[in-house]
Amino acid sequence: MSHADLVVVANRLPVDRDDEGGWRPSPGGLVAALEPVMRHADGAWVGWPGQPDLHVDEFDFSGMHLVPVGLSEHEVADYYEGFSNGTIWPLYHDVIAAPRYRRDWWNAYVEVNQRFADAAARAAAPNATVWVQDYQLQLVPQLVRAQRPDVTIGYFHHIPFPAYGLFSQLPWRRQVLEGLLGADVIGFQRTADASNFARAVHRQLRYETRASGIRVRNEDGTQRLALAKAFPISIDAAAYVELAQRDDIRRRAAEIRAELGNPEKIFLGVDRLDYTKGIRHRMEAIGELFDEGRLSVERATLVQVASPSRERVDAYAQLRDEIEQVVGRINGTHDTMEHTAIRYLHQAFPREEMVALYLAADVMLVTALRDGMNLVAKEYVASRTDNQGVLVLSEFAGAADELSTAIRVNPHDIEGMKDAIMDAVEMPPTEQRKRMRKLRHRVQEHDVVAWSRGFLTALARSRKANAS
């Protein structure tokens, strides 16, 4: 099969295996964004089916051609858990956890990136567009270009790109930069990420970097321009609005409030259980507000959904222990027979239940220490069709660049965060409405369809510019 005009390459396929050995769509927002374009362009999606040693043939699903890339148990350990999530993830999130630089992990990363690139090169029609996603596949743009100079290549980086002082720790920094520069357009969440990347390229490779692009030297001595720019990702806002207006989901929201004992204020945190999310900092702040009597469990409760993630990686297992200890300590001190300080759920929920939770929550706490974008913040906003609710948002989340009427916090500043939480508790409904309207306007105008259109338009332009 080699006739797809658009090939998306991502670590994961947009489907999960169900219990009967069939496939169901996975909940990610990227699929929703790309499905319409993919159908139109005879699209193919290259990705890992999510389980070790699962080798399946290519198949069609919901108007897309899916190309599974199998990973052995050992590759899952070294490429996915190792280099992707034990080296790059902590390094790119400002070393919140210590990155490990292991040569065997790097070797597996190179090998697996080559396999993804080969699959993409096979799937692409002549002059097709190949769109590579995220940090697990940073070498793929260059590896595809080496085989298929006819195709246009885009890369989108969903996580932060760190400052040069940190990035330069990476023993394979040049290879990674060269891998990414195989793309015609390299997209980032924030302008600051794009600048960090351009600076790293300038320092390491001495390429000329300008607003119009980075002047890349091809192997044959010719030159081309690669564009590094911010394209902040978004969500399928209309889908959240639709769910938020459904009677059964509104009833469920009321039921959640009742089940929690109808407290005056419900705080909500929704995260993958990840050390970048600032879950412990948020709990410390809430815990101290209870300690000081500024909040009481009769009147307020925090619901924390922490969905299981990357559980075999050490830092994640450690984090879980730490968080559960904090929850135990705070609840042990403050709970009564009827009320709880923190309702902690180490579980994943369907989107319907998430929207009911968003509707039930008076205050949404997004306190990431570092986050590429944070789509939960956007989901909360999109769901609040009643224009009520307060978003407390970390300045270290990409979403802070766009969601300017949220209450902004520095999650490292516990006192500041406590005051911000109390401001949220005390905010009058008129002020909530004023702020929420602006937030909603931004998310609805700039949804995920606008995002993918913006990126693909820039990609088409860059191809034209380089051809002329």
Q: Which of 52, 61, 44 is nearest to 2 (CA)?
A: 44
Nearer of residues 310 and 384 to ligand G6P, judged by Cβ = 310
Q: Which tokens in the block code for residue 380?
A: 């909360």
Q: How far is the CB of 354 from ligand G6P (least distance, A)?
A: 16
Nearer of residues 32 and 341 to ligand G6P, judged by Cβ = 32
Q: How far is the CB of 42 from ligand G6P (least distance, A)?
A: 25
Which amino acid belongs to residue 280? R
Nearer of residues 66 and 341 to ligand G6P, judged by Cβ = 66
Q: How far is the CB of 160 from ligand G6P (least distance, A)?
A: 10
Q: Does 134 bind ligand G6P (CB under 6 A)?
A: yes
In angstroms, the CA 301 to CA 329 distance is 15
- Closest residue to bound ligand G6P by CB: 158
Q: How far is the CB of 31 from ligand G6P (least distance, A)?
A: 12
Contact between 44 and 64 under an 8 Å Cβ cutoff? The reply is yes
Nearer of residues 354 and 363 to ligand G6P, judged by Cβ = 354
Judged by CB under 6 A, the residue of 115, 145, 148, 158 near ligand G6P is 158
Q: Which tokens in the block code for residue 430?
A: 């008129």
Q: Does 190 bind ligand G6P (CB under 6 A)?
A: no
Torsion of CA 159, 18, 14, 145, to 10 degrees: 90
Nearer of residues 195 and 309 to ligand G6P, judged by Cβ = 309
Contact between 168 and 145 under an 8 Å Cβ cutoff? The reply is no
Q: Which tokens in the block code for residue 77?
A: 């350990």
Contact between 460 and 184 under an 8 Å Cβ cutoff? The reply is no
Q: Which of 391, 378, 371 is nearest to 451 (CA)?
A: 378
User: What is the number of alpha carbons within 13 Å of residue 384 lying toward its C-beta?
Assistant: 28
Q: How far is the CB of 404 from ligand G6P (least distance, A)?
A: 23
Binding mask 395-434 for ligand G6P (x = CB under 6 A): ----------------------------------------
Q: How far is the CB of 309 from ligand G6P (least distance, A)?
A: 6
In angstroms, the CA 265 to CA 360 distance is 9
Q: How many CB atoms lie within 10 A of CB 259?
A: 10
276 three-class SS: helix
Q: Does 379 bind ligand G6P (CB under 6 A)?
A: no
Nearer of residues 359 and 375 to ligand G6P, judged by Cβ = 375
Nearer of residues 159 and 268 to ligand G6P, judged by Cβ = 159
CB neighbour list of residue 426: distance below 8 Å, 6 or more residues apart: none
Q: How far is the CB of 159 from ligand G6P (least distance, A)?
A: 5
Q: Which of 38, 47, 56, 44 is nearest to 14 (CA)?
A: 47
Looking at residues 38 to 97 of the shown chain, list those that interact with ligand G6P (rule: CB under 6 A).
none
Q: Does 159 bind ligand G6P (CB under 6 A)?
A: yes
Q: Does 277 bind ligand G6P (CB under 6 A)?
A: no
Q: How far is the CB of 375 from ligand G6P (least distance, A)?
A: 8
Q: Is 70 exposed, middle or buried (0-12, 13-18, 19+ CB in 10 A)?
A: middle
Q: How far is the CB of 167 from ligand G6P (least distance, A)?
A: 17
> To the nearest 5 percent, what fractions of the chain are helix, strand and coil?
45, 20, 30
The H or E element spanning position 259 is helix 247-259
In angstroms, the CA 105 to CA 393 distance is 35
Nearer of residues 81 and 447 to ligand G6P, judged by Cβ = 81
In angstroms, the CA 179 to CA 443 distance is 32
In angstroms, the CA 355 to CA 31 distance is 19
Nearer of residues 133 and 301 to ligand G6P, judged by Cβ = 133
Binding mask 201-220 for ligand G6P (x = CB under 6 A): --------------------
Judged by CB under 6 A, the residue of 4, 5, 12, 407 near ligand G6P is 12
Nearer of residues 144 and 159 to ligand G6P, judged by Cβ = 159
Q: How far is the CB of 362 from ligand G6P (least distance, A)?
A: 27
Nearer of residues 75 and 134 to ligand G6P, judged by Cβ = 134
Looking at residues 296 to 335 of the shown chain, list those that interact with ligand G6P (rule: CB under 6 A).
309-310
Q: How far is the CB of 135 from ligand G6P (least distance, A)?
A: 7
Number of residues that bind ligand G6P (CB under 6 A): 7
DSSP string of 124-139?
EEEEEEEEEESGGGTT
Q: How far is the CB of 134 from ligand G6P (least distance, A)?
A: 4
Q: How many CB atoms lie within 10 A of CB 37?
A: 18
- Determine the distance from the C-alpha atom of residue 332 to the mean position of all C-alpha atoms in its chain, rounded to a whole number: 33
Residue ranges that bind ligand G6P, judged by CB under 6 A: 11-12, 134, 158-159, 309-310
